[in-house]
Amino acid sequence: MSTMDKFRLDGHVAVITGGGRGIGRAIALGMAEAGADVVLAARRTEEIEAVAQEVIALGQRGLAITTDMMDMAQIENLAEQTVAQMGKLTIWVNNAGGADDRTLRNLIDVPEYQWDFQAGLNLKAVWAGAIAAAKRMEAGSSIINISSIEAFNPSIANGPYAAAKAGVHTLTKSLAKELAPKIRCNAIAPGPIPTEVLMEAMNLTDEMLPGVVQHLQIPMGRMGREEDIAPAAIYLASAAAEWVTGEVLTVSGGL
């Protein structure tokens, strides 16, 4: 196999949670371009069905399975239905995350329900997805957890999210040790990307983004794009990374 062939995902079946929009959609389409069949999971059925059609247009099988990643039974159903309908499960991307009310708060002002929600969606759901996948994966499979550079530093007004994402890093390393050598587990920590969720939570407009870049002093001189994360996910899922596990790959424009 040539070096470039190692980046292909032909014959793989990938599940992307939170796959209806943003980074999840970009990863789904990137993996389809690399040859993988793709299962999209999220609560918004119409969004994942639309992405499934985009996958099909790229010549791969696409399947939408409506799933609430806060519900263990639905996560198990997602993994089970993937194997039943697609024949196998070899890549699982835990991308679903965020906050339900998209409101920034200092830790002292965080309601208990919001702490529980963010810990559940951003950490527990990652664990639940990983174990549901691992029970059904064959040798050579890969789990990829989408984290954030928020996990590395104090996070003003976004503490629950940052704490959960820091937990994802340790969870990733623990899973990597426990699942090796059969299954690899890695994480990607994106930098600031103006997704719908980020724009709404920070009350940003497109016109304000150059000022954000200057304020953050991003070395590469721009905000991230959803498509910046897809190549990293393809690499970690592919044979090119067959000796890479337990790592957190930062894709942040130099931050």
- DSSP letters along 139-191, please? TTEEEEEE--GGGGS--TTBHHHHHHHHHHHHHHHHHHHHHTTTEEEEEEEE-
Q: Smallest Cα–Cα separation from 249: which of 234, 236, 237, 230? A: 236
Select which of 161, 171, 175, 223 is catalytic. 161
Q: Is 10 exposed, middle or buried (0-12, 13-18, 19+ CB in 10 A)?
A: exposed
Give me the amino acid identity at 11.
Answer: G
- What type of residue sits at position 147? S
Q: Is 113 a catalytic residue?
A: no
Nearest residue to 14 via CA among 39, 50, 44, 46: 39
Active site residues: 161
